[in-house]
Chains A and B, each alone.
Chain A
Amino acid sequence: MPSLTLLGQSLISGVMLGGLYALVALGLSLSWGLLRLVNLGHFALAFLGAYLVYHLGTVWHVDPWWAVLIIVPVFFVFGMLQHWVFVVFRVTELTSLLVTFGISVIVESILQWIWTADFRRYETHYAGVSLKVGPFYVPWLELVALIVAVGLAWASWAWLRWTYVGKALRATAEDADIAAAFGINHRLLSFLLSGVCAAYAAVAGAFIALVSTLAPSQIWAWLGVVFAVVIIGRLGNPVGALLAGILIGAAESLAMAVISPAWAPVVSFTILIVLLLWQPKWL
């Protein structure tokens, strides 16, 4: 049995990792839950964002925070363009899975073509900086990622709950015809939401670049666990995605410490299956 300090440190690392899972999950959950589009391309987009932040930082020496400010609006527009393609080709929930798988493969190839298949690490002066809390170390970048995840999840929740646009999106997800009969222009809102989801991918990508190792094939490494996070958190529920991300991150990290690192990948789907079978009331 590992020491309490090690367990505590694992829990902290896990919660931080969960923040990153939640960041990636947010956009996927919103587009799946509210637009009925399963956007596998979200992962590829996040990695495109990660490579752009890496490139801006290492080649043009742009500070990563400035890089985020640059790529967020670009990705917002890109998300709307991608949605325009979905609209033109009448992409449905099922076909979106196939189309966006294709988009992911294309983006992966582009990443490989430009940045090669080598693993890359974006070394910034923020990396390695930690806060020391008692016997524990809290890595600074990961903490910022978690804070941003909490902020975005809360902001998305508030947007959906308290604004006319948010309520209109939720109404449309439940009954698009009746929503239209009350004047909701779903086409317009779906473009807006697609842009927002892509912008979230950009933010997630920036933190992926800052805290993890980049390789084009890593796109697929995030897919399984983030899918589990999105489903556990309930589709279209940003706060659910945040909590599920933290739950999975913490559970993975503890499993690594207590059992063995090889067990981490099993954790997310075990939790998913258990929760789907058990179906607790609070979920």
Chain B
Amino acid sequence: MLLELRDLHVAYGDAPAVWDVSLDVDAGEIVSVIGPNGAGKTTLINAVAGLLRIRRGSARLDGVELGRLRPHQVCEQGIALVPEGRRLFTRMSVEENLEIGGYRPAARASRDASLARVYDLFPVLREKRLQDAGLLSGGQQQMVAIGRALMAKPRIMLFDEPSLGLAPAIVDDMFDIIASVRAEGVAVLLVEQNVGKALEVADRAYVLEQGRIVASGKPDALTKQPRIREVYLGV
């Protein structure tokens, strides 16, 4: 198993946000976590990325306990985050954002090849490479956020609400890109409010409600459960 979460417990200050979450992502797999607003999806993904401290339980990547690492050491293990709201370095150019993505020593050696690969995937970014990232459209900013994560040459990419605030046509593109990331052998942990899309692209999915996993399984098995059909798919 590539990523292994066992009884994970994460809190903001004294307010617990995620309880006893156990979740697996295998190499080359796309795993979606769906759930309502405030269920703790972003908290979960930020804890895996090293942005939040793990209070209890374990998060292992290829056997390495992530909770023991300092925040900047987590990406060294091959984890790259595409954060909610993109969180680009807005006063830096597109190319500088990508270079920060490839900051870790293991990724620096292949800077030029990685840049070329990102620009082939998103040709519009090559045109705008010297522009400040803050001046791009929402969809283009999301491309930079994904490109930045790809530059880190990760083994697993964490996507936090990648479709949020994007036009419907661009949302379809984003999910195509997520599928193509997996096609290159990178595992994906995806957190989404767009339940239909998130289940369509996933190999397996978990349902997170009020900080706890309430259901999990293959997407078609989940969509057969009456409660999930009713709450998340509205049918």
Contacts and interface: CB of A to CB of B under 8 A. Distances in A.
A in complex with B: yes
Interface string B48-81: 0111000000000000000000111111100011
Contact of A177 (B51, B76, B104): B51
A240 B108 CA distance: 30
B99 A170 contact: no
A227 to B, nearest CB: 22
Contacts of B7: none
B136 to A, nearest CB: 15
B91 A181 contact: no
A93 interface: no
A180 B103 contact: no
A170 B92 CA distance: 8
Contacts of B81: 178, 181
B31 to A, nearest CB: 19
B108 to A, nearest CB: 7
Interface string A145-166: 0000000000000000000100
Interface in A176-214: 177-186
Given A168-B100, A168-B103, A177-B51, A186 B90 contact: no
B161 to A, nearest CB: 15
Given A167-B99, A168-B100, A181-B51, A186 B72 contact: yes
B228 to A, nearest CB: 31
Nearest to B108: A164
Nearest to A174: B89
B152 interface: yes
- Size bracket, chain A contacts: 10 to 19
A171 B89 contact: yes
Contact of B100 (A177, A179, A185): A179
B90 A164 contact: no
B87 interface: yes
A118 interface: no
B152 A183 contact: yes
A52 B104 CA distance: 41
Interface residues of B, number: 27
B219 interface: no
B96 interface: yes
B48 to A, nearest CB: 10
B72 A183 contact: yes
Interface in B175-198: none
Contact of A183 (B90, B91, B96, B104): B104
Contact of B50 (A175, A180, A186): A180
Q: Interface SS of chain A: helix, strand, loop or mixed? A: helix
A186 B100 CA distance: 13
A167 B96 CA distance: 7
Contacts of A184: 72, 100, 103
Given A164-B108, A177-B51, A177-B71, A182 B92 contact: no
A178 B100 CA distance: 10
A183 B103 contact: yes
B91 A170 contact: yes
B75 A164 contact: no
Contacts of A178: 81, 83, 87, 89
Given A167-B96, A177-B51, A177-B71, A182 B91 contact: no
B99 A164 contact: yes
A38 B73 CA distance: 29
A190 to B, nearest CB: 12
Contacts of A170: 89, 91-92, 96
A182 B87 contact: no
Contacts of B76: 183
Interface of B: 49-51, 70-76, 80-81, 83, 87, 89-92, 96, 99-101, 103-104, 108, 148, 152
Given A174-B91, A181-B51, A184-B100, 7 more contacts: A164-B99, A167-B100, A171-B92, A177-B51, A180-B71, A182-B80, A183-B104
29 contacts: A164-B103, A167-B92, A168-B100, A168-B103, A171-B89, A171-B96, A174-B89, A174-B90, A175-B89, A177-B51, A178-B81, A179-B89, A180-B72, A181-B49, A181-B71, A181-B72, A181-B75, A181-B81, A181-B83, A182-B75, A182-B100, A182-B103, A182-B104, A183-B73, A183-B75, A183-B103, A183-B152, A184-B100, A186-B72
Shortest 9 CB-CB distances between A and B: which pairs? Answer: A183-B104, A180-B71, A183-B75, A185-B72, A180-B72, A171-B89, A171-B100, A178-B87, A174-B89
